[in-house]
Structure 1
């Protein structure tokens, strides 16, 4: 592995963990960020991602992406970028793998429903809930709650999309227990993880949307972000079958976006010349990003995908039903907490808002299919649209 850049996160200079770990509990020749990555991979919350919505709710096709496969794809892109920039690959990978752990069932429709159902208790935010899961709700260790991840991993998960000037209650609670300097930008590794997420879903959602028949290839390839890549693919493979052309297009697009990102980011780094990760945090702006032209095309493409795929009538119908499931569960458990499983009943706080937040923790941890099953049990059967 190449020597780390001076502005990369260095595990030897980590700010440490909330709970001090005796040396005997460090298993194997791994540094702090490698252990963080491994703790995330071995967590129950990470395993649950295989049955949580990415774009399509409980899809009946085995080839559609879910939160778990999406997170793996983000990690692959993130590591590639980190390696090219001489950043810490292990921290980048940990952040990529964990970035969606706080999502409730049914993606953003489930989050909207849970936020509304808990409005009187401070609401719900999936990014803050990621930290809550990793620092409180996962309990594999005898001596403390949470996975006891390093400061740098928690900071990156909190701030990968930028500084947090108005934290939600859950984020404020985490920051109070283990201050994360929420008002500054995060490390370059966290910035890479955030944009690797964009690159992954921009392109893999093309594949899934076409596979589902909800978007049209001619419309996709007419978009400024995609048109040059499609032209290059057709020029190289004029007689290839359409499925192979689509797969080649996705690879082409990822490569083009990564290469643009590397050129633009290296220019930013050459201009600022940060000498440490602290210089990165103090820069006052993100340093990892696309060129202006690519960024504009990417924003336009997102608008296209929202209009044609994410807000497609069939998607909205499923989202509405999914929201009803989450809302129904929240109402049922709040009205009668005896319906909760034994462990969740035994640890139910007596006072509000902690009581409602506890119920939200339970619901947020559900997979899509578990939420449907629990709704059938405590509320009643639910009719999902055909094919789901």
Structure 2
């Protein structure tokens, strides 16, 4: 087993939790980061990711990815990279598993609808809502609101994509309470979680796009990284039908990206003489990253996926319908809060902006199918594209 490197976050050096917990109440021989990971897995918000959009909204096919399966795949990649670089595997896993908890139903289409609904009330951002959910909305414990995660986990979730100069209201609220040092780079564990997310969806969305018939192998061959990988796979399995080689293409491409990430990150750590967690946060730049050729290839892949999958006419039609569902729910609850369940109605603030934010909290926690059912209940029929 690879030991921890000098730049790894260690649980015994954690900055702790907002609410003190007595040692005698700890269940089982787990350290602080292991408990964070387990609290995330056991949370209602994590379970709801099972029915939240990844690429395809409320898919009627059992083989498409959803937010939950995506998060598990990100964690698998993140653990591998963390272990090889000597990082804290448990903290990395916790960050990977929790990174999408703040997504509303229907993914970015739902987020756009809530952003518009909260215009003038602070807007909506799924990353900030992840922090809000984990520090406030989740309430499994009698002594405090939230999961009471360590500072290290919350910091990594807040800025896994880098420093934040102008946090929106949800993240700013958490920062005011905990002090997340938003102007600094996060831990290497957080940086690895962020790029593991990219590796997972870059490749698995290809798999889902091919399965759905929205992408073809011929289209993908415009990308050198895919074309080169496809030639290698065909050479390795010359007598296997093409449809059985897609999985091998995807796994080989993930392996290529992971290996490149590990080697490029090691080189940067050595070149910058990184010798501690403080060095990581004070480096003033991202450290976990691809080599320049792989960065270019990954950028081209993303551009291709936006043009050919995420902005495919059928996807845009689905997003428009989903946007209407979320916007319609918000308008209905804002006009008549009595339509909300008792627990949410009883806690509704009277003054803005918290009144609108409370309604958005309720909607953001919905799964795709629950949102569709509530829309039909409180608004009326909705015409959904095929595939819902």
TM-score bucket (shorter structure)? over 0.9
Query: What secondary structure is seen at the aligned counterpart in 1 of 2:296?
Result: helix
1:38 aligns with 2:38: yes
1:371 aligns with 2:354: no
**Hey, what does 2:78 align to over in structure 1?**
78
**Hey, what does 1:182 align to over in structure 2?**
182
**In structure 2, C-alpha distance between the alignment counterparts of 1:53 and 1:15, rounded to whole Å:** 34
**In structure 2, C-alpha distance between the alignment counterparts of 1:387 and 1:92, rounded to whole Å:** 34
Summarize the alignment of residues 1-388 of structure 1 with structure 2, pairs less than 5 Å apart.
Answer: 1-388=1-388
| Pairwise CA distance, 1:233 | 0.6
**In structure 2, C-alpha distance between the alignment counterparts of 1:25 and 1:155, rounded to whole Å:** 25
- TM-score normalised to the size of structure 2? 0.99
| Pairwise CA distance, 1:375 | 0.4
Deviations 1:208-260 (A, max 9, x none): 00000001111113302212211111110112122320000001000000011
Deviations 1:150-195 (A, max 9, x none): 0000000001000011000111000001000000110000000000
With 25-34 and 223-232 compared, the bigger mean Cα shift is at 223-232
The alignment covers a number of residue pairs equal to: 388
**In structure 1, C-alpha distance between the alignment counterparts of 2:238 and 2:104, rounded to whole Å:** 43
**In structure 1, C-alpha distance between the alignment counterparts of 2:21 and 2:221, rounded to whole Å:** 53
| Contact preservation (8 Å) 2:6, 2:277 | yes
**In structure 2, C-alpha distance between the alignment counterparts of 1:35 and 1:73, rounded to whole Å:** 20
Moved over 4 A (4+): none
| Pairwise CA distance, 1:29 | 0.4
Query: What secondary structure is seen at the aligned counterpart in 2 of 1:146?
Result: coil
**In structure 1, C-alpha distance between the alignment counterparts of 2:155 and 2:81, rounded to whole Å:** 20
Task: Provide the aligned C-alpha RMSD in A.
Answer: 0.7
Deviations 1:118-167 (A, max 9, x none): 11210000000000000000000010000000000000000100001100
**In structure 2, C-alpha distance between the alignment counterparts of 1:241 and 1:362, rounded to whole Å:** 48
**In structure 1, C-alpha distance between the alignment counterparts of 2:296 and 2:220, rounded to whole Å:** 16
| Contact preservation (8 Å) 2:2, 2:84 | no
| Contact preservation (8 Å) 2:18, 2:150 | yes
Structure 1 spans left out of the alignment, 5+ residues: none
| Contact preservation (8 Å) 2:58, 2:387 | no
| Pairwise CA distance, 1:301 | 0.8
- TM-score normalised to the size of structure 1? 0.99
Query: What secondary structure is seen at the aligned counterpart in 1 of 2:225?
Result: coil
**In structure 2, C-alpha distance between the alignment counterparts of 1:83 and 1:387, rounded to whole Å:** 39
**In structure 2, C-alpha distance between the alignment counterparts of 1:239 and 1:190, rounded to whole Å:** 42
**In structure 2, C-alpha distance between the alignment counterparts of 1:7 and 1:15, rounded to whole Å:** 16
Structure 2 spans left out of the alignment, 5+ residues: none
| Pairwise CA distance, 1:275 | 1.7
Deviations 1:292-312 (A, max 9, x none): 010011101100000000000
Deviations 1:65-116 (A, max 9, x none): 0000000000000000001100000000000000000000000001001100
Query: What secondary structure is seen at the aligned counterpart in 1 of 2:219?
Result: helix
